[in-house]
Amino acid sequence: MQRYPGPQRMRWLVLVAAALTAVLVTVTACSSGHTPAPRPASPGVTTAPPAPPPSVPRLAAGEELPVQVPKMGCPELSTHDFTRLNEGAVSIALATMVPKSESNPYDYCQVVGFVDPQIGFELRLPTTTYRGRYLQQGCGGYCGVINLALRSPISTGCAPLTDGTMVVGQDDQGHRDTGPVDVWATDPQLKVDFGYRAEHVFAAAAKAVITAFYGAAPRYSYYDGCSDGGREALMEAQRYPTDFDGVLAGAPAFNQTALNGFEEAYLSTVDFRPDGSVILPAAKVDMLHDAVIRECADPDLGAGTIQDPRSCNFDPGSIACPDGPDRPDCLTGEQVDVVRKIYTGVVDAGGTHLYTGGEPIGSEPQWVGLIVPRDGQRREQILMYRIGAGFLRWLGTWKPDPGKAIDQSVFTVDNLKGYLDSVGGLYDATDPDLSAFAQRGGKLIHWHGWSDGYIPPVGSITYRQAVIDKLGQQIADGFYRLYLFPGMFHCQGGYGPSHTDLLTPLLAWTERDQTPNAVIATKTAADSDGHTATSGPLTQPDPTARAVTARPVYPYPTQTAYKGSGDRNSAANYAAILPQPHDDHYKWGGGDFHSGYQLWCTSDGRELSCNRTRP
């Protein structure tokens, strides 16, 4: 047992169980740690939304969801009592009408509020077009912001997202962004809220608001998130399988402890000498990427993209400079070593991997500013350092350690296991047991870019394999699909076709049991050509720009091949092929993904207690 001081306004006691059988003194409460006294409901008071059905309902052939109109005025929500919800008291700070305009495609009631202690959220409730669907959007990075999006690159052309038939909502995961230093994580309760609690209690709050406003709970509830939002998506399906009927989990940071504290922290070290000077300059990254594409691009796929980076054995030594001075068209021996380290990912002194995968071959355009500094940048300014230091000094330790050194002493198997045991139970969404979600009829579409330079896609493949190992191929195929997009960067954009719509297939699978197969991914004239090292930061892709290339993308492991005739830019001229089987297990220092590692934390208002037994 250890005690950790919290903020001055309150002293928190965090009790972290060292074994699954440890028994700690906890309050009897729901996952939020609250035990409101039972009392009869009064008029205008919401106690809780109706309990979810035992199984996800399917629409009959030809059935359409009807339009539902509000049962109260928008401003009335600000005076409605939502303080007695089992999952946490809710305060509505603002409820105001936003009229349809050139930038806003429908009229809606904007609701801004908080779930205790300080989980901020926003909801948009359509007033004339709602058809019984709720979509909760995830948040990236360490969150701390609310940024609702009605035009997501992974939902390009999805009508329900833009025509006002859905309520959409997002929360800030319990804190506000505190800038370059994650001081918000000094509060243990905010660690818990960011780790797993915020999405669940906001889902309960959102459904309560929807029920009060329309007079009925949403018929279908969906979750859509990428990066940390993808982690949140998997966390919901694992911990709270009745919260959402359909889940989109993109490029998930699901193995977060090892990703942030080891992989990303390690990658912040590889391109700098002890004196802080840079080894591989940004100006050489384009040249490196061009060499990769020449050797690894799949002619069957076209568009200069790599179908599966694991199938290419590119060696950066092949573009090493001959003996003599450094040149812009080759790599020095020291630079070759840097590139190899980036592709390999974090390992200990004995070569044991401390994360599931290194940077994929083909991800090079994203390295600049992330791993390789831009001209004039110091190590402390690259993103991998910001994320890694934030975890090791603030999020990953119950007692803040602002002086923690980010160096080779961190990267050992013992340290990895220590962090996994201490905080992995808060942050990680690696549990492969999705049986409860599957049994109630939930559907999960998991997706990742093959050229993701932020979160290696091999981790997503490893998780899919763990689910199959746990549940069996047949059960997994009944509710789970993984899509991998060649040439796609992190969550959006890339030099391969990256605009697609996965939300519409998720709705059809969830509501009508229509199993998804190929989706069409497009590339526009405004998209990246893969040369970003010298032209500044990557720009946001514009999914409304004219498409110049289209490809079908099939559920993994199926790949795409040109049929042999016709326009290579047309998706109609490509077909599905099955590659040679690949062993998708991954040997690393954290061991196989398993159940039972989760921490469950409750509070009685004075103490926070965490153990591995669900309250």
The predicted-structure confidence for 111-130, as pLDDT tens digits, reads as follows 999 999 999 999 999 999 99
Residue with tokens 């974090």: 346
Rounded to whole angstroms, the Cα distance separating 19 from 348 reads 26
- In the chain, the amino acid numbered 51 is A
φ and ψ at residue 388, rounded to 5 degrees: -65, -45
pLDDT at 52: 52
The pLDDT mean for the chain works out to 89
CA-to-CA dists, residue 215 to 207, 219, 306, 613, angstroms? 11, 12, 51, 36
How large is the average pLDDT for residues 241-255? 97
- What's the predicted TM-score (pTM) here? 0.90
Q: Does residue 593 surpass a pLDDT of 70? A: yes
Long-range contacts of 574-581, Cβ-Cβ distance < 8 Å, separation of 24 or more: 576/518, 576/552, 577/300, 579/308, 579/311, 581/557
For 110, other C-beta atoms within 10 Å of its C-beta total: 15
CA-to-CA dists, residue 43 to 37, 72, 271, angstroms? 18, 13, 64
Rounded to whole angstroms, the Cα distance separating 470 from 348 reads 29
Q: Does residue 18 surpass a pLDDT of 50? A: no
Q: Does residue 353 surpass a pLDDT of 70? A: yes
Contact 77, 92 (CB under 8 A): yes
Structure token digits, residue 184: 């918000």
The burial class, CB within 10 Å (0-12 / 13-18 / 19+), for 14 is: buried
Q: Does residue 560 surpass a pLDDT of 60? A: yes
First CA to last CA across the chain, in angstroms? 19
Structure token digits, residue 96: 């105001």
Comparing C-alpha atoms, which of 156, 242, 63, 199 is closest to residue 503?
A: 156
Structure token digits, residue 170: 């997002």
Contact 256, 428 (CB under 8 A): yes
How large is the average pLDDT for residues 32-57? 49
Q: Does residue 31 surpass a pLDDT of 60? A: no
Q: Does residue 25 surpass a pLDDT of 70? A: no
Looking at residue 325, the DSSP 8-state letter turns out to be S
Rounded to whole angstroms, the Cα distance separating 358 from 458 reads 8
The burial class, CB within 10 Å (0-12 / 13-18 / 19+), for 569 is: middle
Residues 58-91 as b or e (16 or more Cβ within 10 Å = b):
eeeeeeeeeebebebebebbeebbbebbbbbbbe
- Whether residue 117 has a cis bond before it, omega within 30° of 0: yes
For 199, other C-beta atoms within 10 Å of its C-beta total: 29
- Cα angle 88-90-96, degrees, rounded to a multiple of 5: 160
pLDDT at 10: 37
Rounded to whole angstroms, the Cα distance separating 525 from 97 reads 38
- Whether residue 557 has a cis bond before it, omega within 30° of 0: yes
DSSP, collapsed to helix, strand or coil, labels residue 148 as coil
Contact 271, 288 (CB under 8 A): no
DSSP, collapsed to helix, strand or coil, labels residue 574 as strand
pLDDT at 605: 83
pLDDT at 584: 98
For residue range 451-494, list pLDDT tens digits in order. Answer: 999 999 999 999 999 999 999 999 999 999 999 999 999 998 89
Contact 24, 10 (CB under 8 A): no
Give me the helices (H) in 399-523, please. 413-419, 425-427, 435-439, 458-471, 473-479, 503-512
At 2, the pLDDT band (50, 70, 90 cuts) reads: very low
What is the chain's alpha carbon radius of gyration, rounded to the nearest angstrom? 24
Structure token digits, residue 542: 């514009």
Rounded to whole angstroms, the Cα distance separating 552 from 550 reads 7
Comparing C-alpha atoms, which of 438, 419, 415, 437 is closest to residue 428?
A: 419
Q: Which residue has the higher pLDDT, 540 or 570?
A: 570
For 478, other C-beta atoms within 10 Å of its C-beta total: 14
What sign for the dihedral angle of Cα 257, 263, 268, 274?
Answer: positive
Lowest mean pLDDT of 97-111, 157-171, 385-399, 535-549, name the range: 535-549
- In the chain, the amino acid numbered 65 is L
Give me the helices (H) in 94-186, please. 159-162
pLDDT at 160: 74
Q: Does residue 552 surpass a pLDDT of 80? A: yes
Q: Which residue has the higher pLDDT, 91 or 47?
A: 91
CA contacts within 13 A on the Cβ side of 122? 14
How large is the average pLDDT for residues 157-171? 86
pLDDT at 545: 73
pLDDT at 246: 98
Contact 465, 585 (CB under 8 A): yes
Contact 194, 608 (CB under 8 A): no
Highest mean pLDDT among 16-20, 179-183, 194-198: 194-198
For residue range 359-408, list pLDDT tens digits in order. Answer: 999 999 999 999 999 999 999 999 999 999 999 999 999 999 999 999 99
Comparing C-alpha atoms, which of 360, 374, 345, 242 is closest to residue 305?
A: 360
- State the virtual CA torsion across 266, 268, 273, 279 in degrees, nearest 10: 120
Rounded to whole angstroms, the Cα distance separating 225 from 410 reads 30
CA contacts within 13 A on the Cβ side of 192? 24
Comparing C-alpha atoms, which of 547, 544, 574 is closest to residue 558?
A: 574
Rounded to whole angstroms, the Cα distance separating 293 from 295 reads 5
Q: Which residue has the higher pLDDT, 407 or 524?
A: 407
Rounded to whole angstroms, the Cα distance separating 260 from 42 reads 47
Q: Where are the beta strands (DSSP E) in 255-295?
A: none
φ and ψ at residue 524, rounded to 5 degrees: -105, 165
Rounded to whole angstroms, the Cα distance separating 170 from 223 reads 10
